[in-house]
Amino acid sequence: MNDYMALILGVLCAGIGGELFVRGAVGLAHWARISPGIIGATVAAFATSSPELSVSINAALAGKPQIALGDALGSNVMNVALILGLALVISGIQSPRDSVKRDFPVAMLIPIITGVLFLDGELSRFDGFLMLGIFFAWLVAAVIEARKQRSAAVEVLGEHRRWLIVLACVAGLAFLVAAGNLIVAGARGIAITFGIDEFIIGATIVAVGTSVPELATTIIAKLRGHDEVSLGTILGSNIYNGILIVAVAAIIHPITVAWHEVAIALIFGLVALAFTYPPRNGFIERWRGVLLLVLFAVYLAAIIQN
């Protein structure tokens, strides 16, 4: 199989596997009587980040953690600038500031922390463990707060028939494992053939494929009128990508990337998030969606020409 076919097939597997795993994982959590609030804050966001985790582990084990880093940071830009931008263009999103008061500051802080850790040109294993510690602190806070809340995540994302829950989890996981192997093999081959930087491949082509579950979840939630799931899933997924997935890759294999390459993805990710902060009335208008889509186009141009 040539590199292009491997990459295309891997992206398709990531989309299919991610979508199945999201529905199975949320259904499984509901079946296990985990509260809906915790499902929305943790399980749903983790499940939508499962393709990035699969790629991250495979890339790091293959000695190419740059692909993992590019995928995680690129996915974060796409989650907000492309996916949330599209959701906003469909119609504005009602999201009171109280609903994002925990996750929004953390999501904004992650690119800054990552940029500081990369000032020496490397994300070491120690840096990875430090990021992992921050992630677990956020996770504990998320679970504590989620116990006090209700969420529509189960209604939007979950499968309720038990045999389908198990089937979705197993099939989704199988597709994700295959996707991780295929994407890393294809991306690595293309990078070698054309001399394209592995971080750039990860931040563009690979990130598109692994962001499919977030796209499906956000658009479905938006069309069903559950705005809190749309924004909550995006913020949660960005936190998982930024401090769990990058940390796992760095712990497996320290990541060395030129700071100016990382800076582009971090800065655009930070600016995109800033554009989505809800106003006082809590209604994020459609014009912000257009602005985010323009920002995404500029990001692609900047990172490709870098």
Element (H, E) at 244: none
Cβ-Cβ contacts under 8 Å for 108 (sequence gap 6 or more):
270, 273, 274
Q: At what angle do helices 103-117 and 259-275 cross, to 10 degrees?
A: 170
3-state helix, strand, coil in the chain (%, to 5): 80, 5, 15
Q: Residue 293's pLDDT band (boundaries 50, 70, 90)?
A: very high
pLDDT in the model for residue 123: 92
Cβ-proximal residues to 185 (8 Å cutoff; 6+ apart), any chain: 3, 6, 10
Q: pLDDT category, 117, cuts 50, 70, 90?
A: very high
- Is the pLDDT reported for residue 35 higher than 80? no
Q: Tell me if residue 283 falls in helix, strand or coil.
A: strand
In tens, the pLDDT along 131-175 reads: 999 999 988 888 787 666 656 555 555 556 777 777 887 887 788
Q: Which of 17-21, 61-65, 170-174 has the lowest mean pLDDT?
A: 17-21
What pLDDT is recorded for position 127? 94
In the structure, what pLDDT confidence band is assigned to residue 23 with cuts at 50, 70 and 90? Answer: confident
pTM given for the model: 0.81
Q: Is the pLDDT of residue 38 over 80?
A: no
Instruction: Spell out the domains of the chain, with CATH numbers in brackets.
Output: 3-305 (1.20.1420.30)
Indicate the residue type of 35.
S
Tell me how far apart the alpha carbons of residues 283 and 276 are, in angstroms, rounded to a whole number.
10
CB 149 within 8 A of CB 37: yes
Do residues 178 and 17 make contact, with C-beta atoms less than 8 angstroms apart? yes
How many C-beta atoms surround the C-beta of residue 252 within 10 A? 20
Q: What are phi and psi of 159, to 5 degrees?
A: -100, 140
Q: Is 256 helix (H, G, I), strand (E, B) or coil?
A: strand
Task: For residues 179 and 252, give the distance between their C-alpha atoms in angstroms, rounded to a whole number.
Answer: 19
32 pLDDT above the threshold of 70: no
